[in-house]
Structure 1
Amino acid sequence: MTTRVTQGMLNNQLLRNINTNLTRINNHQNQLSTGRQINKASDDPVGITFSLRYRSELSANDQYETNVDAAVSWLEYTDTMLAQSGEVLQRARELTVKAATGTNPQQALNAIKSEIDQLRAQLVNIGNSEFNGKYVFNGQLTDKAPYEEATAAGATVDHGEIKFEIGVGVRIAANMPGNKVFGEPYDPNDPVKQNNDNLFRVLDDLSKSLEDGSIPGIENALGRLDTRMDVFLEARADVGAKLNRIELAQARIQDINTNLQTLQSKTEDADIAEVITNLKTDENVYQASLSVGSKIISTSLVDFLR
C-alpha cells in the first residue's frame, strides 16, 4: 500500500528539519559563548557524572588547602613563640652561670634576681600568647588564658589537641599544650606533682636561691634549666617535623588539583575551533533549508493548473 504524501506533511517535515537545524545552531552558540561543551545534563549524561565528581573532589581539596594554610600559620606562630621562650631561657641560663661562680656579692645576686623575675614574667606573657584571638598553649580551651603570673607554676592547662584535616582521613594536631613546653603543674601538697619539671617553678626556686645567696641552690637551678632547654629543643623539632609533613601534604594537594582540573577541562571544555566550524556548517545548512522550504511552500493548486 502506497502512502499518500500531502502538502501538509511536507510543510510539517520542513518545519521539523528547520527547528532541528536551529537547535544545533543554538547548542553550538551556547558552547561558543560559554566555552563549555556541557552546559546542561542532557548535553552529555555520562560526561556530567564525571564532571560533578571532579567538581566535588576539587571542592574538598579547596577545603584541605584552607586547613593546611591554617595549620601552617598556627605551627609557624607556635615555633616563633618557642624561639622567643628559648631566648629568654638562654638569658636566664647565662645569668645563672654568672651567679653560680660564688664570687658575686649579694648586691650583684639581687640584681640578677631582679632580671630573673622579669624573665619569668616574660615567659608568662609568652605562655599566654594569642593567635587570631586564640590562646595557643591552652589546648582546646583557646578562649581562656592558661597562666597567671602569681600562680604560673601550679597552673593546669588543657591537654586537648586542635587537629586539622589535611587529606582524606589524615588529621594532624597543630597546637602544643603548655605542659609540653613549660612543664607539668607543681603542687606541694600532691606527691605526684612535687616535681622540679615546671619551668616557672625552676625560676621561682632560682629567684629564692639568689635572694638567699645559696650557691648550691643556684647550681641546682642551672642543671634544671639545662633540662628545660632540652625540652624546648625537642618541642621545636616536633613543630618542624609537623611543618615538613604538612608541606608535603600541601604539594600533594596541589598536584591532585592540577590533575583534576585537567580531567575536568577535557570533560567540560569545548574545542573552540571545532565548535566554530560546526556552527558555520549548521548556519549554511539552515540557510539552504530555508531556501528549499520557500520553494516547497510557494507551490499551490494554481501552480499545478498552469
Structure 2
Amino acid sequence: MALRVTPGMMQSQLMRNINHNLTRMQGLQNEQSTGRKLNKPSDDPVGITYSLRYRSELSMNEQYDKNIAQAKSQLEHTDTVLGQLSELVQRAQELAVQAQNDTNPQTALDAIAVEINQIYEQAIMIGNDQLNGKYIFNGQMTDIEPYDSATAATAAAPDTDDQTVKVRFSAGVTVAVDITGGEVFGKTGDNDNLFKTLKDIYNSLTPTANKAALQTAANQLNSRYEKIINTRSEVGARTNRVDLIDQRMQDLNYNLTELQSKTEDADMAETILKFNQEEAVYQASLSVGAKVIQRTLVDYLN
C-alpha cells in the first residue's frame, strides 16, 4: 500500500531539515565568536578529558613558577649576604696579619682591636639578616632572631635551627633555599665559630698583646673563611639548579599550552569556510521550501 504524503508531512520534514541546517550554522557561528571549537563537553567528549588534564597541569605549574621565583629571590639574596660576609672576614684577616707584626705599638693594636669589635657587630647584623620579614640563617624558625651580640661568642649561645627550608618545584623535586647559621658562622662548640674567633682576636690585642693567642685565633679565622667560601659555592650550585628547573618548566608550559590550543582552539580559516558553506545550504533550504510549499485555496479561505 502506497504511503500518502500530505502537505503537513512535507512541512514537518522541511522544518526539521531547516532547523538542522540552522543548528549546524549556529554551532560554527559560536566557534567563530569564541575562537574555540571546544565550548562544552558534548562538542568533543574525548577532547574534553585531555583539555581538563592540560588545564590541571598548567595550573600546578603556575604555582611551581611562583615557587621558582621565590627560590631564586632567596638564593640570590643569600648569595649577596654571604658576599658581604666574605668581604668582612677578609678585612678581619688583613687586620689579624697586620696585628702579628712585631713593630706595632700598643696604640696600633688598640686601634685594630676597635675595628675588630666593629667587624664583630657587623657580623652579628649579617647573621640576623631578614628577607620579607623572615630571618634567613635560622632554618625553619624564621620568626626568631638567631644571634645576640652579648652572647653570640659565648658557650651560652643557642645553636641556630638546623632544619632547612625546602621548596617544591614538581612532584618529588625539592631544593633547600636557605643556609643554616651553623653552616655559615659555625656552631657554638666549634673552635672556628666566627663570633668566638673575632672575640678571641679582640681579646688577644687588648689590654696587652698575646701573640700566641692571636696566631691561634687567626688560624681559626682562616678555617672559617674557607667554610664560608664553600657555603657560598653551594648556594651558587643550588641557584644554577633552580635555573635549570625554571628552563625545563618553561619548556613544559609551552608544550602543554600548545597541546591545549590544538585541543580547544578553532581553526578560524576552516571555521569561516564551513560557516559560509552552511549558510549557503541554509539559504538554499529556505528557497527550496518556499517553492515546495505553495499556498492553496484553503490558505486563502482561512
1:168 is matched with 171
TM-score, with length taken from structure 1: 0.93
2:160 is aligned with 1:157: yes
After TM superposition, the structure 1 = structure 2 runs for residues 50-69 of structure 1, keeping only pairs within 5 Å, are 50-69=50-69
Deviations 1:220-264 (A, max 9, x none): 111001000110111011001111111111111111111111111
Deviations 1:149-202 (A, max 9, x none): 1112323211121111112210011011111100001xxxxxxx3x41311011
2:294 is aligned with 1:298: yes
1:26 is matched with 26
Amino acid corresponding to residue 182 of structure 1 in structure 2 = F
Checking the alignment, whether the CA contact within 8 Å between 1:102 and 1:215 is kept in structure 2 is no
Q: Matches of 2:53 and 2:3 in 1, distance apart?
A: 51
1:217 is matched with 213
Deviations 1:89-122 (A, max 9, x none): 0000000000011221111111101000000100
After TM superposition, the structure 1 = structure 2 runs for residues 1-306 of structure 1, keeping only pairs within 5 Å, are 1-153=1-153, 154-185=157-188, 193=189, 195-211=190-206, 212-300=208-296
- How far did residue 14 of structure 1 move? 1.5
Q: Matches of 1:116 and 1:44 in 2, distance apart?
A: 74
Amino acid corresponding to residue 139 of structure 2 in structure 1 = G
Count residues in correspondence.
Answer: 295
Q: Taking structure 1 as reference, are residues 155 and 117 closer, same or farther at Cα in structure 2, changes over 3 Å only?
A: farther
Gaps of at least 5 residues in structure 1 are 186-192
- How far did residue 302 of structure 1 move? 5.2
Q: Matches of 1:30 and 1:144 in 2, distance apart?
A: 59
Amino acid corresponding to residue 93 of structure 2 in structure 1 = R
TM-score, with length taken from structure 2: 0.94
Q: Matches of 2:245 and 2:40 in 1, distance apart?
A: 35
Percent pairwise identity = 52
Q: Matches of 2:249 and 2:26 in 1, distance apart?
A: 39
Q: Matches of 2:185 and 2:8 in 1, distance apart?
A: 94
| RMSD after superposition | 1.4
Question: Equivalent residue of 1:171, what SS?
Answer: strand
Q: Matches of 2:298 and 2:23 in 1, distance apart?
A: 35
